[in-house]
Structure 1
Amino acid sequence: MEKVSMLSSSEVQTVIESYPAAFRERILILRKLIIETANVTEHVTVLVETLKWGEPSYVTKKGSTLRIGWNPKTPDYYGMYFHCASRLVPTFKRVYSDTFSFEGNRAIIFNLYDPIPEEELKACIRAALIYHMAKHLPTLGI
């Protein structure tokens, strides 16, 4: 049973459908993980799915925006992007340095052919969804 109200834009689906099939499949997995995590995260009641910078983005009242996307400039990779001025990615690097690949302080990057470490990624997603409640914690509640 879903407890989160999801507000979605049809433009998001159009962008996802524009990705090559293999990447579309992976982006939809990331989207599913975001929605699943929102549904079991305390204090998240509304999840807004919209476009920011032309990419599917997810916003909550007490969280930091997270985006997912693929770019033809890096054709073998796709990513989950976070606000670069937040403590999110630096914290993920400390906690999950052996699990994920990162792009600066803004993204977790995935190779098309690598498995997605779902439980660890859900912990990162949760931290983003409630960032403004957890940013004072040493590892953001992870």
Structure 2
Amino acid sequence: MAEVYGATNGTVALAAATAKTVIEVAAGATVTARIVAASVSFDASAAAAGIKVELVRYATTGTGTAYTPLKYNGEGQARAALCTCKVNDTVEPGTPVVVETYYVPNTAGQFWQIPLGREAYLPSSTLIGLRVTSAAVVNCAANLQWEE
């Protein structure tokens, strides 16, 4: 059975009309992963309109805060995650390729549980992340889960 791990960005302020990668996951040279779930929520008012959320593949990593992935399955997991994470990038990762795009209600949030067999695959030595763009200054909380 695959082990499931997660990352959360805590909460970060989004600048108006500026894309920000809130979670970035990198598969190492000897590991592959599958994104199985993601969620975002906001503390926005009506002025923020719809907020764009993208699942993005990157060619190069950005500059963000290092994050130790959490064991999502709890005590039953035998090992630490092999993928590495960064949250709340201050310098965006390079060469983005958008996999999926959603507009999420600004006063709520969205949770995606990806159906078995249709997970976003993360080959070894690649990056994937959640990138968010808001029309107004709002706070964003995001989570990303993967199995490896």
TM-score normalized by structure 1? 0.26
- If asked which structure has higher relative contact order (CA below 8 Å, sep 6+), I would say 2
Q: Which has the higher helix share?
A: 1
Q: Which has the higher strand share?
A: 2
